[in-house]
């Protein structure tokens, strides 16, 4: 477990300038396009599951793709986050109208631009196979949470029925 965690620790977050991303926790020959941000993640490994947290502000569910690949031991998260623009509050209705997206011409208007908007990608090789059928992906308040139960570790307890078989009973 420590080698898996050591591979994940200390990895920088940035925008890829080439098709090659030099990160030990990405499979070799990963096709990360130029200009795509490597999504920062928090990974927690327990005895029965691995939990992955990723901040995805401005991302709608339809714009996120999470997949389990390989031998159910490679997780790929990709999508696009958009900066909310033209926020107009309707006080009388109690709602907010958001027109999303910034075109390239508007990018020059910013005095300071630190947020990573646009396409993101992250691929993580897990230390062991996960149960893909029991895996869950949830998003709340701009945080994507993946619950990945490890194969061979059942979290569901099933009580078995015990039947008495006497020597006088014929099967």
The CATH number of the domain holding residue 27 is 2.60.40.790
pTM given for the model: 0.64
pLDDT of the residue at 11:
46
**Mean pLDDT (whole number) for 144-168:** 72
Give 165 or 70, the one with higher predicted confidence.
Answer: 70
Q: What is the pLDDT of residues 23-46, one digit of tens each?
A: 444 444 455 667 789 999 999 999
Which residues span the domain enclosing 30? 21-81+115-149
Whether the CB-CB separation of 52 and 146 falls below 8 Å is answered with yes
Residue 30 lies in a domain: yes
Structural domain count, the chain: 1
Range with the poorest average pLDDT among 70-74, 77-81, 108-112: 108-112
Residue 37 lies in a domain: yes
């Amino acid at each position: 477990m420590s080698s898996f965690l050591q591979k994940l620790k200390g990895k920088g977050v940035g925008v890829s300038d080439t098709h090659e991303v030099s990160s030990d926790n990405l499979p070799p020959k990963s096709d990360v396009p130029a200009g795509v941000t490597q999504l920062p993640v928090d990974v927690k490994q327990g005895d029965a599951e691995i939990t992955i947290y990723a901040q995805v502000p401005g991302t709608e569910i339809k714009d996120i793709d999470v997949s389990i690949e390989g031998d159910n031991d490679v997780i790929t998260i990709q999508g696009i986050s958009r900066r909310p623009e033209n926020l107009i509050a309707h006080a009388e209705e109690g709602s907010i109208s958001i027109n999303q997206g910034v075109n390239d011409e508007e990018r020059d208007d910013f005095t300071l631009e630190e947020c990573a908007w646009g396409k993101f990608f992250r691929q993580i090789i897990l230390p062991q196979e996960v149960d893909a059928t029991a895996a869950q992906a949830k998003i709340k308040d701009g945080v994507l949470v993946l619950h990945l139960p490890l194969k061979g570790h059942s979290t569901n307890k099933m009580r078995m029925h015990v039947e008495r078989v006497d020597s006088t009973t014929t099967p």
